[in-house]
Amino acid sequence: MMMTARDLAFGYRGTLVGEGVTLAVEAARVLCLMGPNGCGKTTLFRTLLGLLPPLAGRLELHGRPVMEFSRSEFARHVAYVPQAGSSYFPFSVTEVVTMARASRIGAFATPSAHDREIAQGALERLGLQHLASRPFTEISGGERQMTLIARALAQEAELVVMDEPTASLDFGNQAKVLDCINELRGSGLAIVLSTHDPGHAFACADSVALMKRGRIICEGTPQAAVTPETLRNLYGVEIAVEFMRGAGRNICAPALGRFRKE
């Protein structure tokens, strides 16, 4: 296992957000985390990224406690892809991607020719080379999200954590990001992502963990974990899960107007 959490409790100093979380992240696999707003997903991600210390339990990377890693050492193993928000500084797309090399160069060093070559390769891999000189602030939301994924690739990490990578993207760009996730998994990367769309679990996940009130209430394959019953428990609404032959996978749709009373 690349990263494991065992009976993990997480939160902030004096504030418990979640507990009893046990997860395993493997190479060439996608783990999808789903849950309603406020259930603790972001705090759990901050803990997996080593930004918050575990309050109890164990969190290990390659069998070593995450909090024993220096930030630069941890960044050589784990990359983070945030939601594609705007940037206040008009860095070029190439500059944004090259920033990923910071963990592999000295504090006062500048990127080498090799670092620039790695960044260019990441852009080419995702078909973004035509945007290389464009300001990050002037490209579309979908292009920004793909740029952030390219930055994670340039980091040369083994595990990529993605926080709602399809949020605020249009339908076409969501499909491109999901295709990219599948391609990265096929190249051997381990990926942990969160999403609010259960259909995305069927599109790219190998396993799914459903979180409610800071606890994992169900974990398994998408077919086992994402069902009308589990989604009703998670979101409090009726959701149909049907196999769509043309798509070759299950599709989820809410039954509008039938909210379940708690």
Containing structural domain, residue 138:
90-156
Cα gap 173→169, rounded to integer Å: 6
Which domain-ending residue is among 132, 156, 180? 156
7-28 burial, b at 16+ Cβ within 10 Å, e below that, comes to ebbbbeeeeebbbebebebeee
Quick check: is 241 in a domain? no
Same domain for 149 and 46: no
What is residue 83's DSSP assignment?
-
25 shares its domain with 71: yes
Q: Are 108 and 139 found together in one domain?
A: yes
Phi/psi-derived region of residue 3, left when phi > 0, alpha when psi is between -120 and 50, beta in every other case = beta
pLDDT the model gives residue 258: 55
Q: Is residue 162 part of a domain?
A: yes
Number of domains observed in the structure of the chain: 2
* CA pair distance 9, 92, nearest whole angstrom: 40
| Residue 71: how many other CB atoms lie within 10 Å | 9
Is position 246 within any domain?
A: no
Do 208 and 149 reside in the same domain of the chain?
Answer: no
- Please say whether the beta carbons of 151 and 87 come within 8 A: no
8 belongs to a structural domain? yes
pLDDT for 144 equals: 93
**Is the same domain home to 71 and 174?**
yes
pLDDT for the residue 108? 65
Judge if 149 and 178 occupy the same domain.
Answer: no
Residues 53 and 169 in one domain: yes
Output the tens digit of pLDDT for each of the chain's 262 residues. 899 999 999 999 889 999 999 999 999 999 999 999 999 999 999 999 999 999 999 999 999 999 999 999 999 999 999 987 666 688 999 999 999 998 888 666 789 999 999 999 999 999 999 999 999 999 998 999 999 999 999 999 999 999 999 998 899 999 999 999 999 999 999 999 999 999 999 999 999 999 999 999 999 999 999 999 999 999 999 999 999 988 899 999 988 765 555 4
Instruction: Report if residue 249 sits inside a domain.
Output: no
pTM for the whole structure:
0.92
Look at residue 36 and tell me if it is in a domain. Answer: yes
> 65 and 100 share a domain?
no
Does residue 26 sit in the same domain as residue 54? yes
Both 50 and 178 in one domain: the answer is yes
Same domain, 67 and 162: yes
Question: Which residue, 156, 184, 202, sits at the end of a domain?
Answer: 156
Residue type, 244: M
d(CA 35, CA 198): 10
| CATH number for position 58 | 3.40.50.300
Are the beta carbons of 238 and 255 closer than 8 angstroms? yes
Question: CA angle at residue 133 from 129 to 138, to 5 degrees?
Answer: 105
Does 261 fall in a domain?
no
CB 148 within 8 A of CB 83: no
Distance separating alpha carbons of residues 156 and 77, to the nearest angstrom: 8
